[in-house]
Amino acid sequence: MDTQNCFHCGLDIVAEAEIIFDEKTFCCAGCKTVYEIFSLNDLTSYYDFEKSPGATPQDIKGKYDFLENESIVSKLLEFQEETTAIVSLSIPHIHCSSCIWILENLQRLQEGINVSQVNFPDKKVRINYNPQIVSLSKIAYLLSSIGYEPYISLENYESGTQNVDRSLTYKLGVAFFCFGNIMLLSFPEYFEVKEFWLDNYKPFFRWLIFALSLPSFLYSASGYYVSAYKSIKSRMLNIDIPIALGIIIFFIRSTVDIVMDYGSGFFDSLTGLVFFMLLGKMFQIKTYSFLSFERDFKSYFPVAVTRINTDASEESVAVYDIKKGDRLLIRNQELIPVDGILISETAAIDYSFVTGEFIPINKNSGDKVFAGGKQIGKVIEMEVLFSVSQSYLTQLWSNDVFQKNVEQKHKSITDSISRYFTPILLLIAFAGFGYWIFKDVNTAFNVFTAVLIVACPCALALTAPFTLGNVLRIVGKQKFYLKNALVIEQLAKVDTIVFDKTGTITTNKKSNISYEGKPLSETNLIRIKSVLRGSNHPLSRMLYDFLPDMGRVNISDFEEITGKGIQSKVVESFVRIGSAAFTGKTEENTALQTSVHIQMNDEYYGKYVFKNQYREGLEELFKSLDSHYQIKVLSGDNAGEKAALEQLLPKSTELVFNQKPEQKLEFIKQLQDSGKNVMMVGDGLNDAGALAQSNVGISISENVNVFSPACDAILEATQFQKLHYFLKLSKKAMLVIKMSFGLSLLYNVVGLTFAITGNLQPLIAAIIMPLSTVTIVSFVTVMSNYYARKLEVRS
């Protein structure tokens, strides 16, 4: 075995294909070419930052021709003027510092590029170029030629530039500014030295503090007022009502205090409270900007395709302009954007985006081809049957699930607690007021306001954001990416789990291969393996990896026939590998299985049968889930694997086959109507409806940067067996929140005893408030980390 790695891309080098150039070894001509481009332009520092950082450039002839079309380009650009244009391109391959370096030195590779800047977390490069010197399509080809193929999809075409919402950052900045300065200016009051000199300045300090608290009170806390108002209007008592009430009472009481010269007011605690709560909000938001949880078919469909006009001329047209009856040209690796009829003789179409099944399906002239498939092999022609929005797959997105606002489908734990908290709080406040009013009117008002101030559920409101924010980060490190913190609460409530089959519980990486037929001698095996080397078909690659390495013989007259198979002369024999018809085998009932047939010297030998390989740890996962959850498996395929699945999975697992995308959605809906909390685990675009309908939709992805349908969480395929651990952790997170609620209520009781007796001094408030915040935050962080570790050890 050769252990040498390619200098450019780091892949193993097959000895015969090795290319030595400039004293360096390369695995293929593509990698060598990239190195040549770099070395000609003095850009070899690329290889200094990271070892073999590159990617092999793909053959993409003609793929970006649509970028010559002015109207398409203008939709993609962020900014356009006569001599300057700015475009942001998403490049999935960006992964290391070498990538940043080379992409920020593009101006040295191509005249006309002014500046390029990489945003690493977003995996985007922003290019400022002169459209009179260089065109966008030229830039796209340049990027592809050095292995950084840009990803241009229908989504870019529609949305254009988005504005970033930075208001929380501003609010936090304002709150911190006010809080810090007020704290400093409050010090003389804390010590209450009865000194003449300081007493003289009291009014000045107090009014300055008052002025400083205004931005925090009016701007930073504004979100709470809006939310409280909305929740009153919709008659749902959420936690923001007591918070907003507390803040307003805080402010009024403090203002009255300094106007009437009763005391210094509670401005320090007020601004501190606003600051800490905003901090909690910030902490809860952990965005994975390189991931997208909102993807629909638009993220994957191309912007434009090639149309063949009646006069046989070719033209790039935007996908939305395709009409019924048009003839389209689909190249290798291009996505079919609409349903249609195949005109070319044969085609091999990979539907992995849609179904998760990655082995191409062969189609013949006159067959129907569906949108979402990817052509593998040579160029094909097709006639359009439906426009984009009316195609089989895209119709799914017209379902109501995608229209409604999903925000409201769940009530958070904090809100359910505050439903009891708010009335009790008001009851205590009025009771205190009623008790004192007969003794001393002044104290009565003091007690009333003090109760609302002290009981302001700051600690309560901080509990959930900090616990969930922390858990979000813990699972994020283990490659389970959640859309937001609410998903954890929903995970804890799940009682039914529905799995998709292909691509979700099976893996694309490996396949179970078995041989049926006449025994093959060792020499024949060597011959077959040698022929397979030349083919890039996924089945050939898998079979090649499956066959033992025993040596190699030279082959000649190699030919790959799309949709049929490969054939070649090996020494004195002629080998054909491919479909049944191709190898002279009369067709039997093979619809239920994927197989590759072998024929040598016109003699049929046998076939290799490919069975789905289930993910590692699947059996154990299902076994451990079985006692806690109802499990169902939903598949778009036929029932061919039923027996194997029944053997592998626990008996209570329900198996449903032949499900169309809409039926999957309907299936989930029915479960929910019968009172279940459903978690859907899927992977392809055909699961998109079910993922959106379910309470928690998790998408399994082999490569999180490239593909995943819209969902609540993305799980990297390698972490699949940890699913139960994540579910357990979410339950523990809820337990931590409940414990912490108990703790913060304890603080409230202590504070209330001060308040109800009329003894709440500003200093006491200023101590209790940060103290409770700090203990709550550290308690939940320590506890959630503890549970995360404990559960991991056990599982």
Partner 1 sequence: MSVIYLLITISIFVAVGFFVAFVIAVKSGQYDDDYTPSVRMLFDDEISKNRTQNSEGKEQNAEV
Residues lying near partner 1 in the complex (CB under 8 A): 22, 39, 42, 45, 48, 97, 100-101, 104-105, 117-122, 164, 166, 169-170, 173-174, 177, 180-181, 185, 201, 204, 208
232: left (phi over 0), alpha (psi -120 to 50) or beta: alpha
> Which stretches does DSSP call E strand in 426-581?
480-482, 496-500, 506-517, 555-561, 565-570, 573-578
Q: What minimum distance in Å lies between the beta carbon of 471 and partner 1? A: 22
Q: Give the DSSP H or E segment for 115.
A: strand 113-119
Minimum CB separation of residue 200 from partner 1 in Å reads 8
User: Alpha carbon of 397 to those of 661, 671, 685, 696: distances in Å?
Assistant: 10, 21, 10, 18
Cβ proximity to partner 1: between 290 and 320 the closer is: 290
CB of 23 to partner 1, least distance (A): 9
Q: Which is nearer to partner 1, 201 or 420 (CB)?
A: 201
Q: State which residue, 169 or 364, has the beta carbon closest to partner 1.
A: 169
What is the spatial distance between Cα 391 and Cα 180, in angstroms, rounded to a whole number?
59
C-beta of 92: minimal distance to partner 1 in Å?
Answer: 16
CA-CA distance, 762 to 768, in Å (whole number)? 10
- The token pair at 109 is 């590779």
Tokens describing residue 333: 């690796």
Contacts of 618 (CB under 8 A, 6+ apart): 505, 648, 720, 721
DSSP class per residue in 217-277: IIIITHHHHHHHHHHHHTT---THHHHHHHHHHHHHHHHHHHHTTS---SHHHHHHHHHHH
| Least spacing, CB of residue 150 vs partner 1, in Å | 18
Residues 467 and 281: their CA atoms lie apart, in Å, by 11
Give whichever of 204 and 435 is closer to partner 1, judged by the CB atom: 204
Find the angle CA(510)-CA(515)-CA(521) to the nearest 5 degrees.
120
Tokens of 454: 């002290």
Smallest distance, partner 1 to C-beta of residue 290, A: 11
Cα 299 to its chain centre, rounded Å, is 12
Helices and strands counted in the chain (H then E): 24, 28
Identity of the residue, 117 or 524, whose beta carbon is nearer to partner 1 in the bound complex? 117
Q: Output the DSSP codes for 29-79.
A: HHHHHHHHHHHHTT-TTHHHHSSS---PPP--TTTTGGGG-HHHHHHH-SE
Q: Which of 72, 131, 507 is nearest to 317 (CA)?
A: 72
Looking at the Cβ atoms of 201 and 430, the one nearer to partner 1 is: 201
Phi, psi of 512 (to 5 degrees): -85, 115
Question: Which residue number, 271 or 635, has a Cβ lying nearer to partner 1?
Answer: 271
Which is nearest to 719 in space by CA: 792, 670, 646? Answer: 792
Q: Nearest approach, Cβ of 119 to partner 1 (angstroms)?
A: 5
Nearer to partner 1, 58 or 105 (CB): 105
Nearer to partner 1 among residue 120 and residue 604 (C-beta): 120
Residues near 428 by Cβ (< 8 Å), separated by ≥ 6?
451, 455, 752, 756
Residue 246 near residue 453, CB atoms below 8 Å: yes
- Closer of 185 and 566 to partner 1 (Cβ): 185
- Distant-in-sequence, close-in-space partners of 405: CB < 8 Å, separation ≥ 6: none
Checking 24-32 for CB contacts under 8 A at 24+ apart, the result is: 27/56, 28/56, 30/56, 30/57, 30/147, 31/6, 31/7, 31/56, 32/8
| Smallest gap from residue 113 Cβ to partner 1 (A) | 16
Can you read off the two tokens belonging to residue 138? 């030229």
How far apart are the C-alpha atoms of 78 and 128, rounded to whole Å? 10
Asked if 742 and 242 count as a contact pair (C-beta separation under 8 A), the reply is no
Give the nearer residue to partner 1 in terms of CB position, either 87 or 729.
Answer: 87
| Closest CB 481 distance from partner 1, rounded Å | 17
- Find the shortest distance in angstroms from Cβ 264 to partner 1: 16
- Smallest distance from the beta carbon of 375 to partner 1, in angstroms? 36
**Strands 654-656 and 630-634, how do they pair?**
parallel
Q: How far is the CB of 208 from partner 1 (least distance, A)?
A: 7
Q: Which is nearer to partner 1, 101 or 320 (CB)?
A: 101
Q: Which is closer to partner 1, CB of 185 or CB of 243?
A: 185
Measured at the CA of 320, the angle between CA 318 and CA 324, to 5 degrees, comes to 110
Q: How far apart are CA 752 and CA 746, in angstroms?
A: 10
CA angle 313, 315, 320 (to 5 degrees): 140
Q: In the bound complex, what is the minimum distance in angstroms from residue 104's beta carbon to partner 1?
A: 7
Rounded CA separation 484/663 (Å): 28
Residue 99 C-beta: closest distance to partner 1, Å: 10
Q: How far apart are CB 146 and partner 1 at their closest, in Å? A: 17
Count, residues in the chain: 795
The residue among 203, 172, 196 whose CA lies nearest residue 282 is 172
Shortest Å, Cβ 207 to partner 1: 12
CB of 198 or CB of 561, closer to partner 1:
198
| C-alpha to C-alpha distance for 673 and 657, rounded to whole angstroms | 21
Based on CB atoms, which residue is closest to partner 1, 169 or 442? 169
By beta-carbon proximity to partner 1, the closer residue of 166 and 794 is: 166
Quote the least distance from Cβ 209 to partner 1, whole Å: 11
The CA–CA distances, whole Å, from 216 to 171, 181, 227, 272, 278 equal 8, 12, 17, 10, 11
Cβ-based nearer residue to partner 1, 278 or 700? 278
Closest approach of Cβ 46 to partner 1, in Å?
A: 10
Compare residues 47 and 358 and give the one whose CB is closer to partner 1.
Answer: 47
